[in-house]
Amino acid sequence: MKILLTGFEPFGGSELNPSAAVVEALASDPPAGVELATMVLPVIGIEAGDRVVERIESESPDAVIMLGEATGRPGISIEQIAINLRDYRMTDNAGKVASDEPVVEGGPDAYFASLPIMRMVESIRTIGVPASRSLTAGAFLCNEISYRVLHANAIANRRIPAGFVHLPRLPEQCLDADTPHASMPLDRQIAAVRAILQTL
Amino acid sequence: MKILLTGFEPFGGSELNPSAAVVEALASDPPAGVELATMVLPVIGIEAGDRVVERIESESPDAVIMLGEATGRPGISIEQIAINLRDYRMTDNAGKVASDEPVVEGGPDAYFASLPIMRMVESIRTIGVPASRSLTAGAFLCNEISYRVLHANAIANRRIPAGFVHLPRLPEQCLDADTPHASMPLDRQIAAVRAILQTL
Amino acid sequence: MKILLTGFEPFGGSELNPSAAVVEALASDPPAGVELATMVLPVIGIEAGDRVVERIESESPDAVIMLGEATGRPGISIEQIAINLRDYRMTDNAGKVASDEPVVEGGPDAYFASLPIMRMVESIRTIGVPASRSLTAGAFLCNEISYRVLHANAIANRRIPAGFVHLPRLPEQCLDADTPHASMPLDRQIAAVRAILQTL
Amino acid sequence: MKILLTGFEPFGGSELNPSAAVVEALASDPPAGVELATMVLPVIGIEAGDRVVERIESESPDAVIMLGEATGRPGISIEQIAINLRDYRMTDNAGKVASDEPVVEGGPDAYFASLPIMRMVESIRTIGVPASRSLTAGAFLCNEISYRVLHANAIANRRIPAGFVHLPRLPEQCLDADTPHASMPLDRQIAAVRAILQTL
């Protein structure tokens, strides 16, 4: 089984991004029986979405799992939905913001992830890592690439599992705060994403 | 160096308490050069304080580190202060509540922990675990035993390091929640408390 | 202009629901030029959705604004989206829970509210009341009636403004907590909903 | 009865401070039977404490109520304690920070407010405004002036009610946020502080 696994470069002033670290770790040690194609995407508006969609078209994976960081969330969250909205005040890594615009002009309002969400949540909890379904992935890059992929799959009638998973910050990103954010060590994040891949 | 290290039994419906788990782990594998006396205290009003004070008097440790669980806190927090207030709606394990009463009738309003707090915070961060100073330990049992110990030390003129450290929940305590609390794996909690002991 | 304005009965142990109180206040003092049809709906799964859809069909309003309570949110939130998911552990007022099931079997994944959301947010801020767009209305009754209405409008090709607005708790609901939730006085909530109606 | 009521100037980039607004409102319309002396203090380290202590010595009030803003808190909070610690990363209005230093060299660790705290909490709830006891006023200016006043009263053996009350932000301070903080309208804040003064 060939799975495309993507992460993001660091952004917002941090020098780390758990999603990139997890992708790199699993690239060099994939689950048994899984052929892994990996990408660490730039945190740049349209470019990130373009690149992941092109890779799906060239690579024809059997499933797509996209990873990103959700500052402040304490557990792994499997995203239920991607919405046709781009809206952020925090600049991406090209210095751009967006205000109340569609990801894809004329696209449907939203797509549910084509993932066995609650089965994935259970498989993560089974290894002792907190996890839950999330009902919003925001309206920043994480949502955007998720919408782009689900939209491209719908148009091409590619009936493969695909969706977005938000990861907590790494402890190393929370060492100078007077009041630390929630975080999760890298080894647990890797184990959780490995469990996700094994449900596919 | 002899250090008294205490934790608490589970309470509030949970079957685990990270403080008990950390005490047990360090009891069987103490830091080099440290003689560890350990206790896992009942979550019962006056009894918990009585027992730890008696143990200090019989054991004459060189330092006292008390551990407890702080639901929702994402990092290790070293408590700055213990206050002469007992006030809780959540029952202790004997079914008691308390309303606006002193821990020690006629005692001073509060005691600062006699710990090198910011040095401890730094030593924990050095091993990659989020930590911070906390300005309140609440008005439940954690605060109570801390006040009792600092008060007993003041009265007996025992000039030893003593204070309270709040630990996050364990991931295993956060597996059935739709929205998980912050948590920290046991191995990191053990490493953090080991780092604290090594600053003494 | 005829607007259907709905609220919910109290639920979850509270004796109040700000949405019912706002509906009652505006029913007896509607904005100038607005004919208001109002409903206070039972917090009961399918029944609430059935009743509001039937009323739209019998009443043919020019717009539909549905109100509900969002415990903990500090400002007025205009919901961007309603999703085809019913999933709640907290019982409704008929004692029912729901697990990972669709609101409408075979319906689209989600509908965006057909409201001028950011214009409504601005109109509320103009009168000094905090407001924002929300990207999730949860998967309880609030989301359900919103999905039901947007779905019924889509099927009937009723191109009218319709959507859901979450209100903070009333201060009166936060008087016995040791740590109060966010709340907003009723007069400000009424003024905010009045401002929403006046943007239509 | 003569009461000294103090607030603070705006800080941290805001143009408003609810404590100044409440002081100004009550100065021009004090509760019946109360002679009110008022100050709006600069948010500048030692100066703020110096000025309020000097005013107490020159004015000889029968009670001192100090007000300040607590960003994010949803209700009125009556502070239990002031601690002998000055520690803040956020600059005061003179551009100063402080790190782990005492407010008063050699002073006691902390003072409880000399206020009927739970009676004040009840009197505020009686008028429908959320309120609670708070166990920490932080280690910024609010704590500092509270400590300075309670210490000066202790030294001079002035047995008068004195303490600090944290107020939520005003709604007007929360109008541009994508995710608003908790806030409380000025009229409710004024009513709550009026209720506090009337318990004295």
Considering only CB atoms, which chain D residues are within 8 Å of B110? 81, 83, 109-110, 112
If pLDDT is split at 50, 70 and 90, which confidence band does B45 have? confident
Cβ under 8 Å to D: B residues 135-194 = 135-136, 138-139
The nearest CA of chain C is from the CA of A24 a distance in Å of: 31
Query: Average pLDDT, stretch B32-47?
Result: 96
Residue B112's closest CA among B86, B62, B67, B149? B149
pLDDT at position C136 is: 97
If pLDDT is split at 50, 70 and 90, which confidence band does D180 have? confident
Which chains would you list as touching C if contact means 3+ CB atom pairs under 8 Å? A, D
Considering only CB atoms, which chain C residues are within 8 Å of A117? 100
pLDDT at position D176 is: 85
pLDDT at position D59 is: 96
If pLDDT is split at 50, 70 and 90, which confidence band does C179 have? confident
Q: What is the 3-state secondary structure (H, E, C) of chain B?
A: CEEEEEEECCCCCCCCCHHHHHHHHHHCCCCCCCEEEEEEECCCHHHHHHHHHHHHHHHCCCEEEEEEECCCCCCEEEECEEECCEEECCCCCCCCCEEEECCCCCCCCEEECCCCHHHHHHHHHHCCCCEEEECCCCCCHHHHHHHHHHHHHHHCCCCCCEEEEEECECHHHHCCCCCCCCECCHHHHHHHHHHHHHHC
pLDDT at position A135 is: 97
In this predicted structure, the answer to whether residue A192 has a pLDDT above a threshold of 80 is yes
Return mean pLDDT, chain B. Answer: 96
pLDDT at position C45 is: 85
Q: Any idea which residues of A carry the catalytic annotation?
A: 79, 142, 166
Residue of A nearest to C117 (CA): A100
Q: Does C72 touch chain D (CB under 8 A)?
A: no
Return mean pLDDT, chain A. Answer: 96
pLDDT at position D178 is: 74
Which chains would you list as touching D if contact means 3+ CB atom pairs under 8 Å? B, C
User: CA of A180: how far to CAs of A12, A71, C18, C192, in Å?
Assistant: 17, 11, 34, 35
Domains identified in chain D and CATH numbers: 2-199 (3.40.630.20)
d(CA D59, CA D41): 16
Pairing of the two strands C2-8 and C63-69: parallel
> Does the CA dihedral B79-B85-B86-B90 come out positive or negative?
negative
pLDDT one-digit tens code per residue, C10-61: 998 889 999 999 999 999 999 999 999 999 999 998 999 999 999 999 999 9
Burial D84-105 (b: 16+ CB within 10 A, else e): bbbbbeeebbeeeebeeeebee
Query: Average pLDDT, stretch A152-178?
Result: 95
Q: Does C81 touch chain A (CB under 8 A)?
A: yes
Please tell me the pTM assigned to this model: 0.96
In this predicted structure, the answer to whether residue D121 has a pLDDT above a threshold of 90 is yes
Indicate which residue of D142, D144, D172, D174 is catalytic.
D142
Q: Does C104 touch chain A (CB under 8 A)?
A: no
Give the residues across from A164 on adjacent strands.
A66
Query: Average pLDDT, stretch D104-126?
Result: 98
If pLDDT is split at 50, 70 and 90, which confidence band does D177 have? confident
Q: Does A128 touch chain B (CB under 8 A)?
A: yes
Give the residues across from C140 on adjacent strands.
none
Pull the structure tokens for residue A126: 């089974």
Active site residue B166: yes
pLDDT at position A26 is: 98
pLDDT one-digit tens code per residue, D37-61: 999 999 998 999 999 999 999 999 9
In this predicted structure, the answer to whether residue C177 has a pLDDT above a threshold of 90 is no
If pLDDT is split at 50, 70 and 90, which confidence band does D161 have? very high
The rounded percent of chain C whose pLDDT value lies above 70 is 100
Q: Does B131 touch chain A (CB under 8 A)?
A: yes
pLDDT at position A191 is: 98
Considering only CB atoms, which chain C residues are within 8 Å of A81? 81, 83, 109-110
Q: Does A87 touch chain B (CB under 8 A)?
A: no
ipTM of the complex: 0.94
Considering only CB atoms, which chain B residues are within 8 Å of A122? none
Indicate which residue of D69, D144, D151, D166 is catalytic.
D166
Query: Average pLDDT, stretch A124-135?
Result: 97
If pLDDT is split at 50, 70 and 90, which confidence band does B200 have? very high
Considering only CB atoms, which chain B residues are within 8 Å of D139? 135
D199 exposure class (CB count in 10 Å sphere: 0-12, 13-18, 19+): middle
Those residues with Cβ within 8 angstroms of residue C1's Cβ, 6 or more apart along the chain or in another chain:
C33, C34, C35, C62, C63, C200
pLDDT at position D54 is: 98
The rounded percent of chain C whose pLDDT value lies above 90 is 94
If pLDDT is split at 50, 70 and 90, which confidence band does A4 have? very high
d(CA C102, CA C135): 19
Cβ–Cβ below 8 Å for D182 and C74: yes
pLDDT at position D190 is: 98
Closest in D110, D118, D133 to B109, CB measured: D110
If pLDDT is split at 50, 70 and 90, which confidence band does B177 have? confident
Cβ–Cβ below 8 Å for C174 and D75: yes
Which chains would you list as touching B if contact means 3+ CB atom pairs under 8 Å? A, D
Q: Does A121 touch chain B (CB under 8 A)?
A: no
Compute the C-alpha angle D134/D99/D141, nearest 5°.
45
Residue A87's closest CA among A72, A103, A71? A103
In this predicted structure, the answer to whether residue A179 has a pLDDT above a threshold of 80 is no
Considering only CB atoms, which chain A residues are within 8 Å of C111? 109
In this predicted structure, the answer to whether residue B179 has a pLDDT above a threshold of 80 is no
Cβ–Cβ below 8 Å for D100 and B111: no
In this predicted structure, the answer to whether residue A178 has a pLDDT above a threshold of 80 is no
Return mean pLDDT, chain D. Answer: 96
